[in-house]
Amino acid sequence: MGIPSFGVGTFRLTGQSAIDSVRNALDVGYRAVDTAQIYGNEAEVGQAIAESGVPRSELFITTKIWTANYAKTKLVSSLRESLEKLRTDSVDLTLIHWPAPGNGVPLPQYMEALAEAKALGLTRQIGISNFNIALTQQAIAVVGKDEIATNQIELSPYLQSHKLTAYLKEQGIAVTSYMTLAYGKVLKDPVLATIAEKHHATVAQVALAWALQLGYAVIPSSTKRENLSSNLLARDLKLDAQDMALIATLDRNGREVNPEGLAPDWD
């Protein structure tokens, strides 16, 4: 099974706001939920899912292993803890959250531990997040490209990462775009506003439709039920070649997330 093209993200949502957001998302039709150990909201996500009444078999749950748990002795047990919080026997996808080149655990060790988690049935698929080309190549060398379901990376009309996305496509590794709205910065973009007006759509829908049309999966988050509903409509929005060409001109290497010590040297 591939990666669902549309999911709900939970980055920066904690406590009741995380529960409400996920519950609303499931209620309006989302069936994929993205969380991470470091978000500190896996238990809330698990609660929202449990209370939603949506059968587990209909859901696609993704979590990410935090850097503190990369060691061979820690990764599997940390994922078991995540599963307890999420109230499930297994997740659908588990990612290495950041390559963290300086954190003392070599890449082959954590990729092997991630593959072990899959072999144990704790996760159906595995993948990576925030990896550049060189590190993706190293990950492939350890587990094989067919084992890497996705590389979840920051992508938006302002950060289009052509080299990296072309490489991933060539390898058959799906791209998941996070921060597709660049913390809301793209929502004020006049070019996107013009395209949105033409299609009687919102700017958020245009940015999400752009990513979907490039073949990327998206995981936008919102605490507002109406935005969650509205974002989903991006799936039905078809941008034309002229729209896509205009959006291509907005690329400005506008990276929002680049934590020191965790991020790689970007391509």
Q: Determine the average pLDDT of the residues in 212-238.
A: 98
Query: CA–CA separation, 216 vs 213, rounded Å?
Result: 7
Structural domain boundaries in the chain:
8-184+216-222
Q: What separation in angstroms does the CA of 120 have from each of 94, 115, 215, 259, 260?
A: 13, 9, 31, 32, 33
Q: Is 39 a catalytic residue?
A: yes
Mean pLDDT, the chain, rounded, equals 97
CA atoms within 13 A on the CB side of 4: 21
**pLDDT band with cut points at 50, 70 and 90 for residue 2:** confident
Give tens-digit pLDDT for 104-163.
Answer: 999 999 999 999 999 999 999 999 999 999 999 999 999 999 999 999 999 999 999 999
CB burial class (10 A; 0-12, 13-18, 19+) of residue 234?
A: buried
Task: Single out the catalytic residue among 39, 70, 110, 158.
Answer: 39
Q: Determine the average pLDDT of the residues in 182-187.
A: 96
Crossing angle of helices 190-198/241-248, nearest 10°? 170
Question: Is-contact 91 123, C-beta < 8 A?
Answer: yes
Domain spanning 8-184+216-222 has what CATH number? Answer: 3.20.20.100
